[in-house]
Amino acid sequence: MSQRFTEEFKIQGVKQVTEHGYSVATVSERLGVTSSSLYNWIKVYGPDSEERVQSKEQTDRIKQLEKELKRVTMKRDILKEVTVFFAGESKKNTRL
């Protein structure tokens, strides 16, 4: 019967190899998994994995869009204030 491991468990195992410098054999023995499983996890969750690259690209894109949203929101707020100001000026001029 094969055992299921959580994604977080796998990522922590990968970090022990990629970030902390432990050998695959040591980590796999400590975690009770096969070396081949750990190598597969490294392919999926390691620093050069496709998922990690896509995640980084998505994070960068979200930051870019948040910055753009902030800029556009500021412009909108300024335009609202200008509209209120000129609406008030217009009412003053029509009363004269």
Instruction: Kindly report the pTM of this predicted structure.
Output: 0.50
> Tens of pLDDT along 75-90?
999 999 999 998 887 7
Q: 1-46 — its CATH code?
A: 1.10.10
Its sign, for the CA torsion 11, 42, 16, 38, is positive
Strands (DSSP E) contained in 15-91 are none
CA–CA dist 7, 33 (Å, integer)? 14
25 vs 50: CA distance, rounded Å = 24
Q: Which pLDDT belongs to residue 14? A: 94
Q: Give mean pLDDT in consecutive 10-residue pieces for the chain, a chain of 96 residues.
A: 82 93 96 95 84 79 97 97 88 68
Indicate the domain borders of the chain.
Answer: 1-46, 49-96
